[in-house]
Amino acid sequence: MKRTLKYVGFGFAVLLGVSAAVVGLTFSGLQPASDGDELNQIRIVTSGTGSTVGIVPIGEAAVALIDAGSDATGAPILADLEKRGLTAESVKAILFTHGHFDHIAAAGVFPQAQLLALAPEADLIAGLKKPRGPVVRFFPVKPTGLNVTRTLKEGEPLMLGDTTIKVFAVPGHTAGSAAYLINGILFLGDSADATAKGKLQSGHWIFCDDLAENEASLRSLVDKIVAQGEVVQALAFAHSGMLRDGLAPLSAWISDQDD
Alpha-carbon distance of 106 to 253, in angstroms, equals 32
Q: Residue 3 falls within a domain, yes or no? A: no
Residue 178 lies in a domain: yes
> Can you tell me the mean pLDDT for 119-128?
96
In a domain, 187, yes or no: yes
Pick the residue with more confidence: 151 or 19? 151
Give the distance, in angstroms, between the CA of residue 53 and the centroid of all CA atoms in the same chain: 8
Report percent pLDDT > 70 for the chain.
89
pLDDT at 16: 36
pTM (2 d.p.) = 0.89
Give me the pLDDT at residue 50, please. Answer: 80
Domain extent for 93? 34-258
Residue 242 lies in a domain: yes
Binned at pLDDT 50, 70 and 90, residue 157 comes out as confident
End-to-end CA gap in the chain: 57
- Could you give the number of structural domains in the chain? 1
Q: What is the CATH number of the domain that holds 100?
A: 3.60.15.10
Other CB atoms within a 10 A radius of the CB of residue 69 amount to 28
Examine residue 140 and state whether it is found in any structural domain, yes or no.
Answer: yes
26 found inside a domain: no
